[in-house]
Amino acid sequence: MSYKILAINPGSTSTKLALYKDGKKILSETLDHSVEEIEKYERVQDQFEMRREAVLSFLKDNNFDVKQLSAVVGRGGLLPPVQSGAYEVNEVMVDRLKNNPIVEHASNLGALIAYEIAKPLNILACIYDSVAVDEMNDIARISGMPDIPRVSFSHALNSRAMAIKVAKNYGKEYKDMNFVVAHLGGGISLSVHKKGKMVDIISDDEGPFSPERAGRVPCKKLIDLCYSGKFDKRTMHKKLRGKGGISAYLNTLDAREVEKMIEDGNEEARLVYEAMAYQIAKGIGDLATVVEGDVDAIIITGGIAYSEMITSWITKRVKFIAPVEIMPGENELESLALGALRVLKSEEKARDYVEA
């Protein structure tokens, strides 16, 4: 039997989608959303209709009938902690992501779009390797403030897929190796993988700043700013996620524009851009301590990993720890589709999502 699967990966300023037939890509596209378009919506969840219609319009423009689909798989969003692998999207998950997400994040829309397309067709809608995959050790959960335990939110899908791929390239298995992975995109997260489990992470709000996120900032000054009376709660959230990082310093989300500024002699752009690489390298060093320095490889992945400028700055600082493997791009769509295919072929079972 032949299976056609639509994979959907919503990002902060784009919706990436691809069609696969039996694991082989037959059509793909990145639907870009301008900053002006995104800023029309008060909440990320409010972008749902716009993004769903963009996906359906693309399929229609390419003369693809959705009735041919066997499944729709979306990137898993910021749910309460879940296991790795597949979860079938149900009403409980939809309600959580629409009305009470753990954090507002574009990936929350993946499950919602998948569900709305798949439901009338009576086919599988699922997520795979959610952002909320939690395999952290208990010691990693301690933050220093009992009111705020550390939680596992990261780019789990691409990070795990690249670690599995590098292990294979080394002629070994993922479960037999230790990796530190830095995923560089609109948000940046880092993770340490010990013998097949992602045992600790640095999330996008406790580590390096990124094109649109402030990352870890001085806590006392942040508290003072929150209570200064200058900004409401929503504005402060935007300062941390959406309008932080490179966007706040240089008024752009596009790393390519920053590199053009640097080429044109903009010294402030160079300082900010190199500071991002500096912070990423510091994060890699932090996580190397989790496995007591026993790191088989450092993996740099995500869209910004295409930048030789950034990767060279990072590599220079961390190559003493372990070999550095540059795996640019996001192979998340393929990982999503192959996960859904394993479910359809009964090689893997999709879990039922329930609230504790």
* Domains of the chain by start residue, with CATH: 4-133+332-352 (3.30.420.40), 171-322 (3.30.420.40)
Give the per-residue pLDDT at 46.
Answer: 86
SS3 letters for the chain? CCCEEEEEEECCCEEEEEEEECCEEEEEEEEECCHHHHCCCCCHHHHHHHHHHHHHHHHHHCCCCHHHCCEEEEECCCCCCECCCEEECCHHHHHHHHHCCCCCCCCHHHHHHHHHHHHHHCCEEEEECCCCECCCCHHHHCCCCCCCCCCCCCCHHHHHHHHHHHHHHCCCCHHHCEEEEEEECCCEEEEEEECCEEEEEECCCCCCCCCCECCCCCHHHHHHHHCCCCCCHHHHHHHHECCCHHHHHHCCCCHHHHHHHHHCCCHHHHHHHHHHHHHHHHHHHHHHHHHCCCCCEEEEEEHHHHCHHHHHHHHHHHCCCCCEEEEEECCHHHHHHHHHHHHHCCCCCCEECCCC
Tell me the one-letter amino acid at 289.
Answer: T
> For all residues of the chain together, what is the average pLDDT?
94
Taking residues 98-104, report their average pLDDT. Answer: 87
Q: pLDDT band at residue 164, thresholds of 50, 70 and 90?
A: confident
Indicate if the pLDDT at residue 259 is higher than 80. Answer: yes
Band (pLDDT 50/70/90 cuts) for residue 138 is very high
Is residue 349 scored above 80 in pLDDT? yes
Q: How much of the chain exceeds pLDDT 90, in percent?
A: 79
Q: Is the pLDDT of residue 114 over 90?
A: yes
79: tokens are 């749910």
> What would the mean pLDDT of 263-273 be, rounded to a whole number?
98
Indicate the pLDDT class of residue 216, thresholds 50, 70 and 90. Answer: very high
pLDDT classification of 333: cutoffs 50, 70, 90: very high
pLDDT at 35 over 80: no
How far is residue 340 from each of residues 63, 90, 268, measured CA to CA in Å? 23, 15, 45
Residue type, 53: E
- Does the pLDDT of residue 156 top 90, yes or no? no
Question: pLDDT grade, residue 106 (50/70/90)?
Answer: confident
